[in-house]
């Protein structure tokens, strides 16, 4: 009789474990409209890193859904909600403990952008003391202030930042060159903007909440290595005229 009870107990525990594994909550993955890396409301061309993340999940056999939200909210979600990830997340010392760094996705080159007709080419030194637009929640806000740019104007979107520059509400914008170019082509195709040389180069990641299992993180990292080796990553990036290495 004891053996029968023990067998039943073991079976129940095993069934519960299997059910829990099969019903594991899918990853909630947050991003924002940052063309060409992430493009909201475009099924055919959802953005280079959106395609990379989708392929990572598919190959790693992990469930997940990418949602577009304001960038500040995306950061909050990954920092406070379970089973949540965010991209493209700039890796910085200030953020090191706040996120689990799942996969290195790409790189960023931060530049100043000016309206050519209004201000000519940007001179980083002369821009100190001027109004500098930057995406709200960007890790570069703190960096700019440390570099002596004290009149920082945080904007809800990159498009809003470019609009501020184009309309004279800001003297320049500081942002990633690829993203700024992508937004500029879509929102201001006939305007002329000038770019400085890159002032900072950083890495951008799929970052996640601390509770994402280490085994899942390892699967994603191994999958990324495979995608780099078999050319899948490069193929996706070429579709968007981006560099083919992270």
The predicted pLDDT at position 149 comes to: 97
Closest to 102 in 3D by CA, of 233, 237, 179, 211? 211
Positive or negative torsion for Cα 36, 40, 42, 44: positive
pLDDT at residue 25, as a whole number: 81
pLDDT of residue 8: 39
| CATH level 2 (architecture), domain 109-201 | 3-Layer(aba) Sandwich (3.40)
| pLDDT 10s digits, 142-169 | 999 999 999 999 999 999 999 999 999 9
Supply the pLDDT for residue 4.
Answer: 39
> Tell me: the pLDDT tens digits for 216-225?
999 999 999 9
Domain assignments of the chain as residue spans, ordered by start: 26-107+203-239, 109-201
**Which residues of the chain fall short of a pLDDT of 70?**
1-24
pLDDT of residue 24: 63
Number of H helices, E strands in the chain: 9, 9
Q: Do the first three CATH levels of 26-107+203-239 and 109-201 match, i.e. the same topology?
A: yes
pLDDT at 43: 84
> In the beta sheet, which residues pair with residue 155?
135
- Number of other residues whose CB lies within 10 A of the CB of residue 153: 17
Fold (CATH) for 26-107+203-239: D-Maltodextrin-Binding Protein; domain 2 (3.40.190)
pTM as predicted: 0.86
């Amino acid at each position: 009789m004891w053996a029968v009870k023990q067998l039943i107990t073991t079976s129940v525990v095993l069934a519960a474990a299997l059910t829990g594994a099969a019903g594991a909550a899918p990853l909630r993955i947050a991003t924002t409209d940052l063309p060409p890396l992430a493009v909201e409301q475009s099924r055919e061309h959802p953005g280079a890193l959106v395609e990379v993340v989708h392929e990572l999940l598919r190959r790693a056999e992990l469930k997940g859904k990418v949602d577009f939200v304001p960038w500040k909210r995306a950061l909050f979600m990954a920092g406070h909600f379970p089973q949540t990830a965010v991209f493209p997340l700039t890796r910085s010392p200030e953020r090191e403990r706040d996120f689990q760094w799942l996969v290195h996705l790409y790189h960023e080159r931060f530049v100043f952008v000016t309206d050519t007709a209004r201000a000519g080419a940007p001179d980083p030194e002369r821009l100190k003391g001027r109004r500098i637009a930057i995406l709200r929640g960007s890790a570069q806000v703190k960096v700019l202030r440390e570099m002596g740019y004290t009149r920082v104007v945080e904007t809800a979107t990159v498009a809003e930042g470019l609009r501020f520059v184009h309309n004279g509400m800001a003297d320049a914008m500081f942002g990633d060159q690829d993203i700024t170019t992508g937004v500029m082509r879509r929102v201001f195709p006939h305007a002329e903007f000038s770019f400085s040389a890159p002032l900072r180069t950083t890495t951008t990641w799929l970052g996640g909440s601390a509770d994402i299992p280490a085994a899942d993180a390892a699967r994603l990292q191994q999958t990324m290595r495979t995608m780099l080796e078999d050319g899948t990553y490069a193929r996706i990036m070429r579709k968007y005229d981006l560099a083919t290495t992270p």
